[in-house]
Structure 1
Amino acid sequence: MLIGYARVSTPEQDLTPQLDALREAGCEKTFTDKASGAKANRAGLADALSHARTGDVLVVWKLDRLGRTMKGLVDLAAELAERGIGFRSLTDGIDTAGTAGKLIFNILAAMAEMERDLIRERTTAALIVARREGRVGGRKTVMTPKRLEAARKLLASGMTVREVAPAIGVSVPTLYRHFPASVQDTINAEGEGVEA
């Protein structure tokens, strides 16, 4: 099945020329968007992609109707190739049914895979350097040494975790992370021994 996709950047622009071309090309279903090509979330394109099945062909009037960035086009081409969906651009002469179209499609898919690999390599390298320098990801802990000491004293005095957490300005799960039940029992036992 030929599935058409047409897009204009603003609501004032007219979709008619694209829709006519897609109809003449034999598209049975056509999806549209009136949104910038730079916008990642386009409902019409998402609908077209969810409707397409293996063996179908996504048809556009021109390649730039799919997106403005090379990365966006490369990622979309890789997704289509992975799902076994063909692609045709009417004015650019790209058709994956032909040898040249398949070549372009495969090049775009390979570029997408290479980009993902490069991102993964850069991320892994950056994490290794950060760990070597003593930095770890995520938010900084709210449990300062002063809060830990205050929590230890309050727990030893017989207060519960639910009472201690708001008293020192942390959440109950945070306090449990630093003082599991077994540690709390030890602290409480020590506190009882000190008081007695």
Structure 2
Amino acid sequence: MIRVYMRASTDDQDADRAKQSIKDFLKTKGCAVAGWYTENISGTKLDRPELSRLINDSESGDILFVEKLDRLTRLPYEQWESLKAKLRDKGLVVVVQDQPMTHSAFAESDNDTFTSRILTAFILDLSASQARDDYETRRVRAAQGIKKAKEQGKYKGRSRDYVKREAIRKLLLAGDTYSSIQQVIGCSPYLVQQVSRELKQAE
């Protein structure tokens, strides 16, 4: 059974965006999808309703399929280990569309299951670490940009703050949640929503 998990960080993003490309890819593998699980929630959160539903619906040997690993996790190390334990206990096999080394799960036999899964686990750990590092790097750079702008006196009362708005725009495009952007930038929910609306209008 192949169960596809799709996630986007904000309500303004389309979590179903990759659905057709995933269908096309799995068709080339001669595989059919048993279930689609879609939600708009940050990959930095361990508690995700649709991901939990996928795990509960699964049987040992089922495939959890994602387009990119950061759709599954941007979790800190300890929480990633916790999620892996849940997947392992359920007997789920993770396959990532843009990680060809994980595709062996589609055709593996009992004889090569152990070797391929050890290799896959190693690849997934590296990719999960990179996804988290990328997330943290964006947050740090955004905070540094805001701090530098303040030091240079670019904040002028209640005038339109283009530096802050640009930082918000970049984080929205990177998939950060409204709440995390507010914490990093130090801005109101209204400003994040306003920049988000402007992004949608520009599409």
**TM-score (norm. length: structure 2):** 0.47
Higher relative contact order (CA 8 A, sep 6+): 2
**TM-score (norm. length: structure 1):** 0.48
Structure of greater Rg: 1
